[in-house]
Amino acid sequence: MSLFDWFANRPKVAPLSQEQQQREIADGLWTKCLACGALTYTKDLHLNNKVCPECGYHHPVKSHERLKQLLDADTWQPRNEHLTACDPLHFVDRKPYSERLREMQHKTGLNDAIQTGFGKIDTHPVALGVMDFNFMGGSMGSVVGEKITRLVEEATQARLPVILICASGGARMQEGMLSLMQMAKTAAALGRHRQANLLYISILTHPTTGGVTASFAMLGDLILAEPKALIGFAGRRVIEQTLREKLPDNFQTAEYLLQHGFVDMIVPRTQLKHTLAQLLRLHTPTSPPVGHRYVTPGFLLS
Amino acid sequence: MNSERKAVILDFERPLVEMEQRIRQIEQMAQESGVDVSDRVSQLVNNYRQLRQEIFSRLTPEQRVKVARHPRRPTTLDYIQAMTDEWLELHGDRGGSDDPALVGGFARLGGQPVLILGHQKGRDTKENVARNFGMASPGGYRKALRLMHHAHRFGLPIITLIDTPGAYPGVEAERLGQGEAIAVNLQEMFALAVPIICVVIGEGGSGGALGIGVGDRILMFEHAIYSVISPEGCAAILWKDSTQAAKAAQALKLTAPDLLELGLIDQILPEPLGAAHADPVQATETLKRALLDNLARLRELDGATLMRQRYDKFRRMGVVLDG
């Protein structure tokens, strides 16, 4: 091809019109950062675990993306995937709960707001639960509670560490008190895991609130959080509206919790797998201690 | 009915109050004119009783919420003072706070030493402000846990009385780790080798109630409520309209009969005619008898059995489809 031909055949590239630009973003080729507005090639954003390379903003991630980010390839063995919610209260608000469930299942391809199973992080076998905020705001009803409890019980049997990645608005109102009791149920299962001197790492991601905060999220032996994640018990609006208190700027952020002693460390998502592997390594004794067993005070008389 | 209690009248109690006034008028007129109207009065009193029975036997969930929150409803300390032979209140979480919204201490009940804990609402506005309307802070849950660990060490059965709109949603409470405090209680209450009886005496408000709500037996007064969220909060979120609270109260299944049917509570304590606030003495008697009955049964079990059964009890809660 002569240079002349090359010029002749060269696609006519003009600067993209605004409309075209927007179409390309809409097509998903590029992703605009929700925080700083920077455009990142979507594939690159995914390679960076959906953390904006410009400003470090952590874009929301789906549970299956989490699994891919954290686990060694082809090690995921899901458990209890087929557990689904029924509608024991026949709950109807502006829409029947059963219909909401069907819509959510269709939209997310998930049966409920958490995926649980076993896998390996840098060759360390772990029991892993990943909540999915896209499914009814990651709310905890019977299915989330039951899946976590079964996972923790199986991990206790198999003497494996548990890692739970939290993302939830709290208890699922549509299952009423059944949802509230999942807080106690999951806490009980984690208590037995703890009593067996096994490691539980809880990872708080944006957002972790309500009944999930007041149960398994805050029960980690070690608690990690993603930068700027919203973490709290009561909703910010509830506090503002009912009590008319002025809220500190960084109130209920990961950084606020770190400052007040409720989080061990803040770990950017890009470092999460590395940090977890490091923690797991540090909990793998080179030679198992003999005759030493720490007994949790509450269990002395049991 | 004394004048103090008359100050608070729920809308569905109004026909009763009117009838009561009529009876009093007739009695007064009779006294003045010297005419014997005792037949007429006893008939009216009968009607009054019937009406009261009717009204309170078909309360809607929304009305039950109002009864459960009734300002004259007996509080934790009312019951403790009325049913125990001795009572010594203890204070402090040993971490810098003592929460007046969650009280606890040693008591002697039917001759036996026990630990009693409970949310404490105020009996008037001033006390309500001091008690934070029964909304406990992290320090309250940590005080409760400290006392429960003590009970565990000394073999004292634990009784918790639940009556709270919810855990306190405030800046200070968040700073001190409200979520963490409740979570730790949930976990630790499964590791106490002594009998635990929880009674919802009024309002069981979500995580704030559950924070002292893990036990071997969960009892509930007939007109008490226990809910994952307040009907008002639920309506604001799901209906985007907090005036839809009546619908939410219906949908949430928060009444004692509903929760018994769902298998989440063990026993309903019947209330006197016109609810606990109409006859606190009888309500106290009912509570005391139920506590002593359940204590006698639980005392036969050793610590390991109690803890195993407590785990299994909560393990069964939840409804899922498998496969």
Average pLDDT, stretch A123-150? 98
Q: Tell me the Cα Rg of chain A.
A: 23
Beta-carbon separation of A213 and B190 below 8 A: no
pTM: 0.91
Q: What is the pLDDT of residue B159?
A: 98
C-alpha to C-alpha distance for A46 and A59, rounded to whole angstroms: 10
Closest CA to A66 of A154, A165, A196, A190: A165
Alpha helices in chain B (DSSP H): 3-6, 14-33, 38-57, 61-68, 76-83, 125-130, 138-154, 171-175, 178-188, 206-210, 231-234, 245-251, 256-261, 280-299, 303-315
Average pLDDT, stretch A42-60? 94
Of B169, B187, B264, the CB nearest to A242: B169
Beta-carbon separation of B177 and A84 below 8 A: no
Of A181, A234, A252, the CB nearest to B317: A181
CB neighbour class for A249 (10 Å; exposed up to 12, middle 13-18, buried from 19):
exposed
A129 interfaces chain B, CB cutoff of 8 Å: no
Q: What is the DSSP string of chain A?
A: --HHHHHHHS----PPPHHHHHHHHHHTSEEE-TTT--EEEHHHHHHTTTB-TTT--B----HHHHHHHHSPTT--EEESTT-EE--TT--BSSSBHHHHHHHHHHHHS-SSSEEEEEEEETTEEEEEEEE-TTTGGG-B-HHHHHHHHHHHHHHHHHT--EEEEEEE-SB-GGGHHHHHHHHHHHHHHHHHHHHTT--EEEEEEEEE-HHHHTTGGGG-SEEEE-TT-BB-SS-HHHHHHHH-PPPPTTTTBHHHHHHTTS-SEE--HHHHHHHHHHHHHHTS-SS--SS-----GGGTT-
Q: What is the pLDDT of residue A297?
A: 53
Asked, as a colleague might, if the bond just before A60 is cis with ω within 30 of 0, I would say no
Q: Residues for chain A: how many in total?
A: 302
Whether A61 has a pLDDT exceeding 80, the answer reads yes
Q: Does ipTM surpass 0.90 in this model?
A: yes
Q: Count CB pairs under 8 A between chains A and B.
A: 206
Beta-carbon separation of A302 and B262 below 8 A: no
CB neighbour class for B58 (10 Å; exposed up to 12, middle 13-18, buried from 19):
exposed
Cβ-based contacts of B323 with chain A (< 8 Å) = 82
Beta-carbon separation of A299 and B234 below 8 A: no
C-alpha to C-alpha distance for B258 and B251, rounded to whole angstroms: 11
**Chain B: residue whose CA lies nearest to A234:** B169
Beta-carbon separation of A232 and B179 below 8 A: yes
**Chain A: residue whose CA lies nearest to B181:** A214
Q: What is the pLDDT of residue B39?
A: 85
**Chain A: residue whose CA lies nearest to B259:** A177
A window 44-73, beta carbon within 8 A of B: none
Mutation target to probe the B interface, by most B beta carbons within 10 A, among A172, A233, A259, A263 is A233
Q: What is the mean pLDDT of chain A?
A: 90
Beta-carbon separation of B264 and A94 below 8 A: no
Give percent of chain A above pLDDT 90.
79
Beta-carbon separation of A214 and B174 below 8 A: no
Q: What is the pLDDT of residue B58?
A: 87
Beta-carbon separation of A188 and B187 below 8 A: yes
Cβ-based contacts of A249 with chain B (< 8 Å) = none
Longest dimension (CA), chain B: 79
Distance from CA of B239 to the nearest CA of A (A): 6
Distance from CA of B56 to the nearest CA of A (A): 24
Distance from CA of B303 to the nearest CA of A (A): 7
Judge contact between A79 and A114, C-beta under 8 A. Answer: no
Cβ-based contacts of B175 with chain A (< 8 Å) = 260
Cβ-based contacts of B176 with chain A (< 8 Å) = 260
Beta-carbon separation of A247 and B171 below 8 A: yes
C-alpha to C-alpha distance for B191 and A154, rounded to whole angstroms: 20
Q: What is the pLDDT of residue B82?
A: 97
- State both tokens at A105: 């299942």
**Chain B: residue whose CA lies nearest to A83:** B322
Kindly report, residue by residue over A4-50, the tens digit of the pLDDT: 676 666 655 556 666 666 666 666 899 999 999 999 999 999 999 99
Q: What are phi and psi of A245, to 5 degrees?
A: -95, 145
Helices B303-315 and A176-195 pack at an angle, to 10 degrees, of: 140
Beta-carbon separation of A214 and B153 below 8 A: no
Kindly report, residue by residue over A219-276, the tens digit of the pLDDT: 999 999 999 999 999 988 888 876 676 788 899 999 999 999 999 999 999 999 999 9
**Chain B: residue whose CA lies nearest to A296:** B191
Closest CA to A177 of B102, B239, B62, B204: B204
**HSE, side-chain direction, 13 A CA sphere, residue A255:** 7
Beta-carbon separation of A218 and B251 below 8 A: no
Beta-carbon separation of B186 and A171 below 8 A: no
Cβ-based contacts of B226 with chain A (< 8 Å) = 177
Distance from CA of A34 to the nearest CA of B (A): 25
Of A93, A211, A219, the CB nearest to B187: A219
Q: Distances from the Cα of A133 to the Cαs of A139, A256, B87, B217, in angstroms?
A: 8, 22, 48, 34
Cβ-based contacts of A241 with chain B (< 8 Å) = none
Dihedral of CA B277/B279/B281/B286: which sign? negative
**Chain A: residue whose CA lies nearest to B178:** A233
A28-42, A59-73, A109-123, A276-290: which range is least confident on average? A276-290
Beta-carbon separation of B226 and A177 below 8 A: yes
Distance from CA of B223 to the nearest CA of A (A): 16
Q: pLDDT averaged over consecutive 10-residue blocks of chain B (323 residues)? A: 57 88 88 83 88 88 94 96 97 96 98 98 93 97 98 98 96 96 98 98 97 98 97 92 92 97 97 92 98 97 98 97 85
Cβ-based contacts of A190 with chain B (< 8 Å) = 187
Longest dimension (CA), chain A: 90
A window 137-176, beta carbon within 8 A of B: 141-143, 145-146, 149, 171, 173-176
Cβ-based contacts of B264 with chain A (< 8 Å) = 177-178, 181
